[in-house]
Amino acid sequence: MAPKTTPNLFQLSGEGIEVTYSTTSIDGKPRFTFKKGRQTLSFSGNQISSVAAGIGTLVSVVIANVADKGVTTFSIMLPAIKLPESRKQAFRTFGITTVAKTTIAGPPTGAQQTYQTVALRGSAQQAEF
């Protein structure tokens, strides 16, 4: 059987943030873990949004939702990766923290989202689940 060349497990870190994302798991659902400081948030299934874009795949989770203030999401941009024979590939990318402002009266005037980026580096590999 030929080795699979598409990764399904991504481990990234940078600037105090650690992310583990798998496109599948033992129950077939994707998993996403976000760590920053003492905070660890875990997501699975439809809590994870994955959108193919021309520049890669954008994978997002909601890390905070405060009524009448805003929704905060954290996203990672994953490039297309073809794994080498070693089945593990190092790569660099970035994460984006997005704050979408909300109010009871509806969207406020001005920019509806603000962004903060973080450089991430890590590895992609094919894991057996």
Q: List the CATH number of the domain containing 83.
A: 2.40.128
Query: Nearest to residue 81, comparing CAs of 71, 91, 94, 72?
Result: 91
Please report whether residue 37 resides in a domain: yes
Q: Provide the number of structural domains found in the chain.
A: 1
Average pLDDT over residues 36-61: 97
With respect to residue 80, please indicate whether it lies within any of the assigned structural domains: yes
Query: Residue 4 falls within a domain, yes or no?
Result: no
pLDDT for position 3: 57
pTM higher than 0.85: yes
Answer yes or no: is 1 within a domain. Answer: no
Residue 73 has pLDDT above 70, yes or no: yes
Split at pLDDT 50, 70, 90, the class of 104 is confident
Residue range(s) defining the domain that contains residue 20: 9-125
pLDDT at 1 over 50: no
124 vs 86, which has greater pLDDT?
Answer: 124
The answer to whether position 2 is within a domain reads no
Residue 97 contacts residue 118 (beta carbons within 8 Å): yes
pLDDT range class, residue 22, cuts 50, 70, 90: very high
Model confidence at 64, pLDDT cuts 50, 70, 90, reads very high
In a domain, 106, yes or no: yes
Domain presence at residue 3? no
Matching residue, tokens 């809590």: 47
